Structure 1
Amino acid sequence: MKSNVLLQIEGMKCEDCATHLKRALQKLQGIERVLITDWRSKRASLVTTQQWNEQEVLQTIEALGYQGTVIERMPIGMDSEERSKDYDLLIVGGGSAAFAAAIKASELGAKVGIVESGVIGGTCVNVGCVPSKFLIRAAEVYTMARNPRFAGLGSCNMPLDWAELIDQKEKLVSLLRMQKYIHLLDVYPNISLIEGKARLRAGIQLIVNNKTYTSRKILLATGSSPSIPPIPGLKETGFLDSTTALSVKTLPSSLAVIGGGAIGLELGQMFARFGVRVHIIEALPSIAMSEEPEIREQLSLYLKEERIELFTNSQVRYVEKTGENGCFISIQNGEKEIGLRVEKILVTTGRSPNTAELGLEEVGVKKGSRGEILVDSFLRTTNPDIYAAGDCAGLPQFVYVSAFTGGIAAENAINGAKRSIDFSSLPRVTFTDPQIASVGLTEAQAKKEGLNVITSIFPVKEVPKAIISLDTRGLIKLVSETNTGKLVGAHVLAAAAGDFIQEAVLAIRHGLTIQDIVDAFHPYLTMSEAIKLAALSFKKDVGHLSCCAS
């Protein structure tokens, strides 16, 4: 009989410790698989057969200088009651959270079923990150060709075939969906796909296409969908959302974007660069309100330089259709009423969890005020046999969060690992040009938490890589604890900011200081040097230093 055995391991000090321990345990008889997700968790999960010897395992751990304790044993679907279950884990949803969970559960020896009623792959690969960033990158190339920064390079007024670009985007999406999702069903024989709409039923059951499936545990990973505000006349007039905007047959002459958050800014700038006259309407005092004020102000200027019109502190009063291809938008801006005529409207006012018609109430799963499934720190719902991960659980709406939480939820569900998640070093990137990349606390958040902090605001125009690239837009703002020097926040507005924010992510995760960053080697003429220079500027005037000096 196979079992999942959960061990508490004391004494591991680094990733190498976990690697050496894993190799040693895998050599023992009766050990099919060893999983140590993170040495800091002090947990190891074993898939064992009847031939395993508990004493031998504990002695092996002790011989390597650690202390091991068996804290749980769980048969893998072999007891009479468990044998009657169709699956060890049934997952509702077929996106990043679902597949990450399925793979993790399969690695733990579980039999897994994925239930999906739509297209496999979820939001990111089909209608989100992949297609939008493809078009954003195309718009960057199109803009650079028409506006080269280097003397001696003439502008190239290249033709634009929108239909061909959209066709290429669809082919890329299909390829990645096949490679990263559909083909994985062949790689992991323990995972099967059940096509249809799922509804929960008491007794850890799902009904799909009038057929009932039983499982030891259930994971809900149903994602989210664009949220549409109740603006009078909007539904009757017609509008685009973040999904449909990526597949329009022809480019509109003008576009009003309702919502000045990350998605609205990314898509608004993309359409503007392809020649669309763009207006962005934001109800809050500024665009990108979750970012530092210095970054918001700078990005606003850059967007205006690209002839994008920004309306902040503005509410849409109503919308109405005008003629065959037109819309009228009434905007309230303080005491002023503004009328705007455009060809199309794009609504980017956030996303809502996909939690309707799942039968949550019937099985005791509670929802929050925004429709999100309520979970505890282990991603367990108010029904202890049902877990939730990703957007539907009200977690930060990033594909990497969905995948990570899917894996954690599966591990907790299958072997009771009780792993929780620390979001304190979670990065976010807005793919405007220049990009915004942030991690940790803003200055205001740090002060609100009672921290005594100091900040450094360093202009990108002082970064050598930016200087030779003739793109000196942006700034780096670091937030540090005054007494300890520990980095608690990093916020960047720069070309490719998302590609070098990871240093700050690791610094915050591991409690590094500003001096630790300064003391590390940073290759010259790379944007990674920007983080070091910003750190250095806490104590020195970088403008008075030679190249690479600190």
Structure 2
Amino acid sequence: MSGVVMRELDVDVAVIGAGTAGIAAHRAATAAGARAVLIERGPGGTTCARVGCMPSKLLIAAGAAAHAARSTDLFGIRVSGVTVDGPAVLKRLRAERDRFVASVFEGLDALPDGTRIAGSARFVDARTLVVQGQAQIRFRAAVIATGSSPVVPDPLQGLGERLLTTDTLFEIPDLPDSLAILGAGAVGIEIAQAMARLGVVVTVIDAGDTVAGLSEPALNRQAIEIFGAEFDLHLGARVQGAAADGDGVRVAWTDRAGQPQVTRATRILAAAGRSPNLADLDLEAAGLRVGEGGVPDFDRRSLVCSGAPILIAGDADAWRPVLHEASRQGAIAGANAAALAASRAVEAPAPLPGFAMVFTHPQVAVVGAPHDPEDQDRVVGGMDFSDQGRARVEGLNRGGIRLWADRSGRLLGGEMLGPAVEHLAHLLIYVLAEGRTVRSLCERPAYHPTVEEGLVSAMSDIQRKIYGS
């Protein structure tokens, strides 16, 4: 821009992105003694707090409250006249969401002057960034932590306000009368169940054969039956196009048999995943080798990219796009960026076992090594919640657990569908990280009556198959 003098900075570490990974990276680099700068394009507040895990859980909590109020007959409790005030539901959601976002901004505001720069950054070369024509930054190492954005498939383009993504869903003033959702993964299924419980007519369309990230066939079948009882669920279906239809949208799709179908809804939600925000960085100028999806080649232990003293963390690397991984990767990347800047050796900690949760009711968790029916060296054990004591007491006796171990009895991973599996999954992830065996775990008691007994039952099943006892 004519007449504008570009500010010049020389730093040890430049962190691009002020989300969960970027904040963790900046903190770690500074703690390691590096002179670090944090570049934020906005809107900030982290994906989790602003448009991800926190607002979605607030919507789920509202849906669960409505469902619980309508489901008391099992216990001999009669409740009538349950109504849902859509604007009030969304008002509380946004108020609580804004509290979470404000706490993030408070942390950023506490950073020393001169350590934050607002604007979009792009690489000039392997040691230089330009921030929106305002500043030129020379760095010794950089961290890419630019996050991700919702994917909008081509058939849904051009719908204007009729199209929702997780970036816009939580801003609507009232619940829609009906909602079509493209995607039966974690986000799609969570939103679908919550909306259905709040009185919205929901249709979910997905080209795949699984829901909520499950791959173990028996659990996946149960999940399809459970969720399909609350809203219209169409798997093996493909959206062909969508168009405005009065105040709503008309979605044309084909079912599993290839037959044309039409769904009309007030709004449509794209829940087909998120893609890394990398397109505007000019990674090639930095000398990075860019692979599938525009993601640079990088080492999954050290997070160092091939070709330059640049690291990548969080959703930007498209590896494990969940908050705890973003925070962990950010800390690793920041510390290693400081090491590179000081010509020290970088650390390459072993990745933690994979860990994903879906906060539906029943909940879903996928932990460790994925289901592999072709692996003949695995032993699979399981249990069913239908007759599990605590689950029956609470009226939540749906779903089950499947765990797999090697022939020595060392646990490898598992999938869960049931009550309180967010807690059972944490126990399992600790077990996997420690390399424990089912025999050692079956020797530990589980308090009665708790759902933790279900986890012990699944491990005992493996032990019987390996040891005969």
Structure 2 counterpart of 1:305, one-letter code: A
The offset of 1:136, in angstroms, is 0.7
Highest RCO, 1 vs 2 (Cα 8 Å, sep ≥ 6): 2
Deviating more after overlay: 185-194 vs 285-294: 185-194
Counting only pairs closer than 5 Å after superposition, residues 27-42 of structure 1 correspond to structure 2 as none
1:338-386, Cα deviation, whole Å (9 max, x unpaired)? 1222221111111111001112121112322212232124211233321
Q: Is the 1:355–1:373 Cα contact (8 Å) retained in structure 2?
A: no
Distance 1:243 1:295, change over 3 A: farther
1:82-111, Cα deviation, whole Å (9 max, x unpaired)? xx9632211111100001111111211222
Q: Give the structure-1-normalised TM-score.
A: 0.78
1:457-486, Cα deviation, whole Å (9 max, x unpaired)? 20113332212212101101111112x011
1:458 to 379, 383, 391: 383
Q: Which consecutive unaligned segments of at least 5 residues does structure 2 have?
A: 1-7
The offset of 1:514, in angstroms, is 0.9
1:490-546, Cα deviation, whole Å (9 max, x unpaired)? 2110122112211111111111111122112322222222211221233569xxxxx
Distance 1:513 1:203, change over 3 A: closer
Say whether 1:177 aligns with 2:105. no
Q: Distance in 1 between the 2:178 and 2:349 partners?
A: 43
Residue in structure 2 matched with residue 139 of structure 1 by the alignment: 63
Say whether 1:281 aligns with 2:205. yes
SS in 2 for 1:86: strand
RMSD: 2.3
Residue in structure 1 matched with residue 438 of structure 2 by the alignment: 514
Residue in structure 2 matched with residue 32 of structure 1 by the alignment: none
1:322 to 245, 248, 251: 245
SS in 1 for 2:294: coil
Q: Is the 2:126–2:285 Cα contact (8 Å) retained in structure 1?
A: no
Q: Is the 1:317–1:332 Cα contact (8 Å) retained in structure 2?
A: no
Residue in structure 2 matched with residue 247 of structure 1 by the alignment: 171
SS in 2 for 1:357: helix
Q: Distance in 2 between the 1:254 and 1:345 partners?
A: 9
Distance 1:191 1:153, change over 3 A: farther
Say whether 1:201 aligns with 2:129. no
Q: Give the structure-2-normalised TM-score.
A: 0.90
SS in 1 for 2:75: coil
1:160 to 56, 80, 84: 84
Residue in structure 1 matched with residue 397 of structure 2 by the alignment: 472
Q: Distance in 2 between the 1:529 and 1:485 partners?
A: 19
Q: Distance in 2 between the 1:220 and 1:381 partners?
A: 10
Distance 1:417 1:473, change over 3 A: farther
Residue in structure 1 matched with residue 4 of structure 2 by the alignment: none
Distance 1:424 1:149, change over 3 A: farther
Q: Which consecutive unaligned segments of at least 5 residues does structure 1 have?
A: 1-83, 542-549
Q: Is the 1:375–1:387 Cα contact (8 Å) retained in structure 2?
A: yes
Say how many residue pairs are matched: 453
Q: Is the 1:257–1:268 Cα contact (8 Å) retained in structure 2?
A: yes
Distance 1:260 1:186, change over 3 A: closer
Q: Distance in 2 between the 1:394 and 1:507 partners?
A: 26
Distance 1:217 1:485, change over 3 A: same
SS in 2 for 1:379: coil
Counting only pairs closer than 5 Å after superposition, residues 130-529 of structure 1 correspond to structure 2 as 130-148=54-72, 150-179=74-103, 181-185=104-108, 189=112, 192-202=115-125, 204-210=127-133, 211-231=135-155, 235=159, 238-288=162-212, 290-306=214-230, 308-377=231-300, 378-415=302-339, 416-423=344-351, 425-444=353-372, 448=374, 450=375, 452-482=377-407, 484-529=408-453
The offset of 1:234, in angstroms, is 5.5
- Larger CA Rg, structure 1 vs 2: 1
The offset of 1:158, in angstroms, is 3.3
The share of aligned pairs that are identical, in percent, is 27
